[in-house]
Structures are given as C-alpha cells and as structure tokens.
Amino acid sequence: MDSRTRGARTMGRHKVDLQLAYEPREEWAHFVLHIEPEGGHVASAFNRALSFEERDSPYVHEWLGRLRSCEPTALHCALVEKAKIPRLFHPCVYDDKDSPAAVQRSGCTCRQTWYDPEFGLPVVGEHYRTVGGAIETWTYLTYTPLALRANDTFEALIVDAQAGQYWIRTGDGILALAPQDRLRGFNIGYGGGGPTELARYIQRIVASRGRDTGVDVTRRHRDADLPRHIHDWVSNKAAAVTAELTLEDLAAIQRGHRRA
C-alpha cells in the first residue's frame, strides 16, 4: 500500500479500514479495503449493476432523497470504467469552475458519490452538462442487494415503468431495489429471459408468503416449473406499466385471477 493512502474513515456507521489511494499523475489506483455495508457485502462479482436516469419516477425521487454524500470508496470505483475513476475525485463545475471535470467553466462531466444509508449500497452520479447548460442530465449507477435485511418484511413488489426498474416496499415502508442476480436481471412485457427471471421471483415470493425475497443462487427451479399464469402475465406487453403488487396481488396473478 502506497504511503499516500489515507487513514480510516467511515461510510455511514461502518468503518473502512483502508481507503483508496489514487495517483493521477501515474494513472493507477490501489486499495485494500474491508467494509461491511448495511445488509451484507456488495461486490460486482455477485450484485447486479444498474444504471438509470432521474426521470419522472416518484420511486427514483424517493430513493435519491435518502442518499448521503460521501468520499469515493473502492465500491464506487468498481461501478465506473477504469478511465473514469479520476472523475470521482474531481469537483463539480457548480463547486469549482476550474475543476478538471469542468468544460469551459460551464459544462461538466464530473462523477459524484453517495451511499444508501439503509442498505449500504454505493451510488455514483454521472453528471453531463453542456456548455451554457442547454442540456443537463444525471445518470445514477449502483448495485442491487442480494436480499433484503434480516428483519425486513415484504409489503409490495413495484414495477416502475418510468425508470425501467423494480423495487420492493418493506413492511416498514422502506423502498429497496429488488434483489437481482448479476447476470439475470428482471424485465417485463415480452417472452424473454428478463420476464422469466421476474416470473421466478414472483413464484418464490408467493410460495414463501413473502419471506424469500433474495436472489436464487441455487437455480433450483426450471422454466417448465413456472406457473403458466405468472409466465403469461410477465410476458404480456400490457403488464409493463407502473404498479405496486402486494402479496395478494401476486397470488392472484399466479391463480390467473389478475389480468395485465
């Protein structure tokens, strides 16, 4: 570890033993990190990476509203391309018009970092602002959890059509990104792999009465075992609308009593 490595800091309530050491002139980054985010370890080898924009989704706005700003950690670095790591350390043009991320003191290509205090998930915001500000967007990168927390209870599965995302509302009212496998994400409205994964997830939630909300790493279930009505529902284009589906709603889908 390079002598320029910073001392221990914290991410939320969880102590980070060693922080990232970045040397912009040498274009390298080395780190040794021990971190215990809320809800378990997060790593790109297991957790699914997501990318979405701040659109007219009330769920995205709710989630963004609870994020807390923090310094970049190794988890944030894993979310961006190697060539983009330096931008995690550059100020936004709103904070410094002479920042390396600033374009003609008005445009911006910075990366800002936050974490989700409920689940310990890292979040990177990609800022794109043209000179003069005619176009300005934020794109958010994060990981899905592998499961809800031990004491969380299932309240509803949320299909967020505006953002193209899937959420879980817990019994305590907490909004969580739906747990998804790194290689097998959810989708809806056509007859493909994404809807099949969503159908498997719905089947497990119904079978466990909402107790099993984690990623199925065992892959016990075959496509042939999926209830026909669930598969038909997730494959229907009409189902690709924003909806909050309680356990009773999901059970009705499995019985064929709820139409898209």
* CB-based contact 124:141 (threshold 8 Å): yes
- Alpha helices in 147-246, H assignment, sequence order: 193-207, 228-234
**Angle 73-37-14 (CA atoms, 0-180°, nearest 5)?**
80
In tens, the pLDDT along 94-151 reads 999 999 999 999 999 999 999 999 999 999 999 999 999 999 999 999 999 988 988 8
In tens, the pLDDT along 48-88 reads 899 988 778 999 999 999 999 999 998 999 999 988 999 99
In tens, the pLDDT along 199-236 reads 999 999 999 999 999 887 666 555 657 888 999 999 99
Tokens coding 55:
């659109």
Contacts of 16 (CB under 8 A, 6+ apart): 8, 9, 10, 33, 34, 35, 73
State how far the Cα of 248 lies from the Cα of 242, in Å rounded to an integer: 17
Tokens coding 260:
């898209």
Instruction: Give this prediction's pTM.
Output: 0.80
